[in-house]
């Protein structure tokens, strides 16, 4: 297959899989850490807001599209409130694995729910 696979909100995992399939991938993401990680492992990367990226020059060159937008609760693209409760999420996972009711999950839901609209 010829042509690019455009990877929006890119990470590394999909790119590695596409590369293993022999496909050419270019990732676009606004997160500097994501872009630095991709570049460090030799992946073609554009640091940009995918909603504002001028993609006209790609017309006729893109054969596939992969888009996996981040969860705004945990991402810098959203309100990020979820990053403040990662310990509680870990406790909820441990509760579930141990067969206990995940009380921490209810606390997390309350903290990052409707009372904290995206900014």
Tens place of pLDDT per residue across the chain (119 aa): 567 899 998 888 889 999 899 999 999 999 999 999 999 999 999 999 888 888 888 888 888 888 887 777 777 767 777 777 777 777 777 776 677 766 655 665 666 564 443 33
Helix/strand/coil for 21: coil
Strands 24-29 and 45-47: parallel
Inter-axis angle of helices 103-112 and 86-97, to 10 degrees?
Answer: 150
Q: Where exactly are the structural domains of the chain?
A: 4-67, 71-119
- Alpha-carbon separation of residue 103 from 41, 73, 94 (angstroms): 40, 19, 11
Q: What ranges make up the beta strands (E) of 17-84?
A: 24-29, 45-47, 62-67
């Amino acid at each position: 297959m010829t042509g690019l696979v455009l990877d929006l909100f890119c990470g590394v995992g999909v790119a590695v899989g596409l590369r293993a399939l022999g496909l050419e991938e270019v990732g676009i993401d606004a997160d500097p850490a994501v872009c630095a990680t991709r570049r460090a492992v030799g992946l073609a990367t554009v640091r940009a807001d995918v909603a504002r990226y001028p993609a006209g020059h790609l017309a006729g060159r893109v054969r596939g599209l992969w888009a996996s937008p981040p969860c705004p609760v945990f991402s810098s693209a959203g309100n990020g409130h979820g990053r403040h409760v990662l310990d509680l999420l870990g406790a909820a996972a441990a509760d579930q694995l141990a067969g206990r009711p995940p009380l921490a999950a209810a606390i997390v839901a309350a903290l990052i729910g409707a009372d904290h609209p995206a900014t």
